[in-house]
Structure 1
Amino acid sequence: MADWYLWAWILCSTMTLVVLRGSVLKRRKGNGISATRGESVRRVLAGNGECRSADGSDADVIVVGAGVAGSALAHTLGKDGRRVHVIERDLTEPDRIVGELLQPGGYLKLIELGLEDCVEEIEAQKVFGYALFKDGKHTRLSYPLENFHSDVSGRSFHNGRFIQRMREKAASLPNVRLEQGTVTSLLEEKGTIRGVQYKTKDGRELTAFAPLTIVCDGCFSNLRRSLCNPKVDVPSCFVGLVLENCHLPYSNHGHVILADPSPILFYPISSTEVRCLVDIPGQKVPSIANGEMTNYLKTIVAHQVPPEIYDSFVAAVDKGNIRTMPNRSMPASPYPTPGALLMGDAFNMRHPLTGGGMTVALSDIVVLRDLLRPLRDLNDGPNLCKYLESFYTLRKPVASTINTLAGALYKVFSASPDQARKEMRQACFDYLSLGGVFSTGPISLLSGLNPRP
């Protein structure tokens, strides 16, 4: 079996290199301007192209979307003295079943951005690592936090509560303006994005202008086609449940069950609630309306969850608040566009198995903040464009590491009738179960604690 440990690690490394090489080649191919840009970009500007908003006030940056990425970005740029206009489709508290686990590396970025208090007063739970389950065996994989302050760990929480705290933090700055509205198109003049057209909450059609527009409108973005090659893959769907008043086998840990056909996740999102995410491969899931989903969860899934939480799982299924969410994956393949930038899930997605999305987004914001700080005048178009192109290179160490591991581990952790993949799955579990350096290396990579492997 020792040979299998070695082969598992070699194969994982090979997969990583293959995926990285593929992503680099894709980026090299995609430097043109999108042929479909006309679908969402309107040429409505003429004359001197002044950067002035509809109500007459100036903005340095327009941020489209106020989710995790948009809110954190608005606060960060606002703290640096930028005048920021945030336009968000719906400013009420979101209700999602993903975006609830922040890795320790992401928490460190939150500290760097001065946003660590956003995980306070929302019943966020500290997370110290993972528990891995397979065929009745289990092992604990701890984050390597020995060299960090005692407050540093992962955090899990209700996504909506976290986002509302971030929005409040951004809106507290006098030079940040949050407005509810739906951006319908980007405004382009001579190849440069000058602002946006949007519809307000009361139905008015307005325009807003700024030298830089940053699109952070999430995985359902209707603007990304203008700014990148939106090759979105949907490898699976998550089925979400909330278990109440149950005790996980390992407190303050995320639980990953290597189930058939694919992984099941459990992690706390408050002091009394545990999120369960059941992964179902493909884009079609059993119907909730006609009872197929309930039957699937009780007959296929329930017997594979740890016995300590079996009753709570069945009770959650019977309660019936079952939600589904497609798991999207999209490489970062931008069209460098003067005056505009994509960030967050509108720009780059990976399978959410490892919970790395918010860590990548917050890391990207730190990179962009540091890039823009020396550039006081964002109206200097050519200089701004040069700085923004550097962003794509500087973000790679963190983003590529987390993206690659998310895809590779999802493949390795999913069941397969292929004998070689079965043995590799077992070897990966056995290898990580050895602990020590055998687990701290991979865990430090996927948690964002080792951003430059």
Structure 2
Amino acid sequence: MADQYTWGLILGAVLGLVAVYNLGLLALYNLVMRNKSEDNGADSLRKTPTPALNGECPFDADVIVVGAGVAGAALANTLAKDGRRVHVIERDLSEPDRIVGELLQPGGYLKLIELGLEDCVEQIDAQRVFGYALFKDGNRTQISYPLEKFHSDVAGRGFHNGRFVQRLREKAASLPNVRLEQGTVTSLLEEKGTIKGVQYRTKAGEELTAYAPLTIVCDGCFSNLRRSLCNPKVDVPSCFVGLVLENLATKFDVWLIYLVRRSLPFQMVKWQTI
């Protein structure tokens, strides 16, 4: 019985991560749209040449983005298409290889369309997803996404997250006003309570500084900067557990706990597979 509840907690965490994944895309889109609606002469984002820092060093970019995961790469792409000079600094530009965010819900795909990034789910062996299949005691049923009012291409997408991230990075790097660089940001440069840029170490080990009127930190769960930015302090921001099953020959039962807030009450369903 304890094992069944353990499996339920694991799968519940997976579904929770999917929801967070799509909420992250929604928050990213709202951030971009809000910045685009502000006065073009605002100090935070500039299309015109930026001033010198203390009269000594000109800004290297309009925006520095720390991290080139889903949020960082998509944000860089959108800001650059709006005319901003964007400097993206990512700790590791090789393809990520970990289990996280493998399912994009239809709402997330709609946000990709609005950001002009829908082609990033192409050529990565992404599978279209139209809902969920539930199995219990030899019976099965389906819960379909309510997609009747949308174009036929609108659906969920299941994919290898690392391939999706690489496509987002390639899309951003293809723009002439995006500089995508591998490096580790070691600290934020602060002057009178205002962040003026970052100090970072390149892949070759060289210590450099970069300046911009706005710095956005999107460096994920392994952030080097979270402790200096969060108040109260956060030691463990989240936890995720994944399983890779190989050569499985016998059946097993898993208790899947799920919550569909808008259409179904809280339920516990027995999921049987091979």
TM-score with structure 2 setting the length: 0.69
Which residue matches 2:191? 189
Instruction: Output aligned runs, 1:212-291, within 5 Å.
Output: 212-229=214-231, 230-231=233-234, 237-241=240-244
* Larger RCO, structure (CA 8 Å, separation 6 or more): 2
Question: Cα gap change, 1:238/1:178 in structure 2, threshold over 3 Å: closer, same or farther?
Answer: same
Contact 1:52 1:208 in 2 (8 A): no
Report the secondary structure of 2:142's partner residue: strand
**Deviations, residues 55-89 of structure 1 (Å, cap 9, x unaligned):** xxx30000000011111010000000000000001
Give 1:48's match in structure 2, choosing from 32, 54, 76. 54
Which residue matches 1:255? none
Which residue matches 2:252? 303
Point out the structure with the larger helix share: 1
Alpha-carbon distance in 1 for matches of 2:170, 2:162: 12
Question: Cα gap change, 1:90/1:234 in structure 2, threshold over 3 Å: closer, same or farther?
Answer: closer
Alpha-carbon distance in 2 for matches of 1:242, 1:116: 31
Q: Aligned letter for 1:69?
A: A
Alpha-carbon distance in 1 for matches of 2:254, 2:268: 19
**Deviations, residues 16-74 of structure 1 (Å, cap 9, x unaligned):** xxxxxxxxxxxxxxxxxxxxxxxxxxxxxxx7176635xxxx30000000011111010
Return the offset for 1:237: 4.2
Alpha-carbon distance in 1 for matches of 2:178, 2:83: 9
Point out the structure with the larger strand share: 2
Which residue matches 1:314? none
Report the secondary structure of 2:166's partner residue: helix
Instruction: Output aligned runs, 1:285-364, within 5 Å.
Output: 303-304=252-253
Contact 1:65 1:88 in 2 (8 A): yes
Return the offset for 1:225: 2.2
Q: Aligned letter for 2:183?
A: G
Alpha-carbon distance in 2 for matches of 1:194, 1:224: 17
Alpha-carbon distance in 1 for matches of 2:249, 2:239: 20
Return the offset for 1:219: 1.2
Unaligned runs of 5+ in 2: 1-52, 270-274
Return the offset for 1:163: 0.8
Alpha-carbon distance in 2 for matches of 1:63, 1:49: 24
The answer to whether residue 147 in structure 2 is matched with residue 145 in structure 1 is yes
Alpha-carbon distance in 2 for matches of 1:169, 1:234: 29
Return the offset for 1:228: 2.4
Q: Aligned letter for 1:89?
A: R
Which residue matches 1:428? 266
Q: Aligned letter for 1:87?
A: I
Give 1:117's match in structure 2, choosing from 101, 110, 119. 119
**Deviations, residues 203-250 of structure 1 (Å, cap 9, x unaligned):** 000000000000010111121222223546678642321669xxxxxx
Which residue matches 1:92? 94
Which residue matches 1:171? 173
Contact 1:51 1:59 in 2 (8 A): no
Return the offset for 1:100: 1.2
Report the secondary structure of 2:241's partner residue: strand
Alpha-carbon distance in 2 for matches of 1:179, 1:236: 28
Alpha-carbon distance in 2 for matches of 1:227, 1:48: 24
Question: Cα gap change, 1:242/1:150 in structure 2, threshold over 3 Å: closer, same or farther?
Answer: farther
Report the secondary structure of 1:240's partner residue: coil
Alpha-carbon distance in 2 for matches of 1:213, 1:234: 21
Instruction: Output aligned runs, 1:52-91, within 5 Å.
Output: 52=58, 58-91=60-93
Alpha-carbon distance in 2 for matches of 1:242, 1:163: 24
Question: Cα gap change, 1:104/1:201 in structure 2, threshold over 3 Å: closer, same or farther?
Answer: same
Question: How large is the RMSD of aligned CA atoms in angstroms?
Answer: 3.1
Contact 2:221 2:237 in 1 (8 A): no
Contact 1:74 1:176 in 2 (8 A): yes
TM-score with structure 1 setting the length: 0.43
Contact 1:107 1:153 in 2 (8 A): yes
Contact 2:227 2:234 in 1 (8 A): no
Question: Cα gap change, 1:184/1:150 in structure 2, threshold over 3 Å: closer, same or farther?
Answer: same
Question: Cα gap change, 1:155/1:143 in structure 2, threshold over 3 Å: closer, same or farther?
Answer: same
Return the offset for 1:119: 0.5
**Deviations, residues 339-378 of structure 1 (Å, cap 9, x unaligned):** xxxxxxxxxxxxxx9xxxxxxxxxxxxxxxxxxxxxxxxx
Structure 1's consecutive aligned runs of 4 or more residues displaced over 2 angstroms after TM superposition are: 49-53, 132-139, 225-237, 426-431
